[in-house]
Each structure stands twice: as structure tokens, then as C-alpha cells.
Amino acid sequence: MKKNEKELQEEVLEISEPSEIEEEPVAPVEPVRYIHVDEFLQTAVPLYGLNRMQARGFKTLMFGRMYQKDMFAFVDELEKYLGKKLR
């Protein structure tokens, strides 16, 4: 019985050793930075001359979509909200 246990241990060791397969190096992934609607409005209010009511209304409109991947997503929505072209 002792021999069988020893053979089993050797088999387990053979299986559990890391393989010799070389893996390709993976390029580091840059984290995606999301922009909050308040951060957008800090620049949009002076840039586009929005009053407080327009800024508050836009923020309310964006409820549920408070984070976007870039500023242009907010600009597109702001253009729809104001009904005029900003760029």
C-alpha cells in the first residue's frame, strides 16, 4: 500500500508542476476615466454661458447617465437640450 501512495504523490507532483508553455506578454490596459456631469458643467457653464436654471435642468435631464466616457457625449446632449449647435 505504501508504494501506491508514493506513486500517487509522484503523479500529483507531475500534474501540478507549471507547464513550459511561454505566454505572450500582455500590454497594460489603461483605465477608462469617466466624467461626471458636475465636472462637465464646471467647464460648460462659463464656456457656453449657461444660466443656473439651464445647468440644473441639464443635470436633471442627465439623471441616470451622470457618467460619460468623454466631454463630447455631454456636449451632444447639451445641444439637444438647448436646441442649438454649440460646436
In a domain, 12, yes or no: no
| Residue 47 near residue 76, CB atoms below 8 Å | no
pLDDT confidence tier of residue 50, bands split at 50, 70 and 90: very high
pLDDT confidence tier of residue 2, bands split at 50, 70 and 90: low
In a domain, 11, yes or no: no
In a domain, 66, yes or no: yes
Cα separation values, 71 from 15, 34, 41, 86, Å: 52, 9, 10, 13
Sequence-distant (≥ 6) Cβ neighbours of residue 55 within 8 angstroms: 41, 44, 45
In a domain, 63, yes or no: yes
Average pLDDT, the chain: 85
Domain that holds residue 85: 31-87
In a domain, 71, yes or no: yes
Q: What is the CA radius of gyration of the chain?
A: 29
Residue 9 corresponds to which cell in the numbers above?
504523490
| Mean pLDDT across 42-65 | 95
| Mean pLDDT across 35-50 | 95
The length of the chain, given as a count of residues: 87
In a domain, 6, yes or no: no
Residue position matching grid coordinates 462659463: 46
| Residue 51 near residue 41, CB atoms below 8 Å | no
Q: What is the pTM of this model?
A: 0.65
| Mean pLDDT across 25-44 | 92
User: What is the count of structural domains for the chain?
Assistant: 1
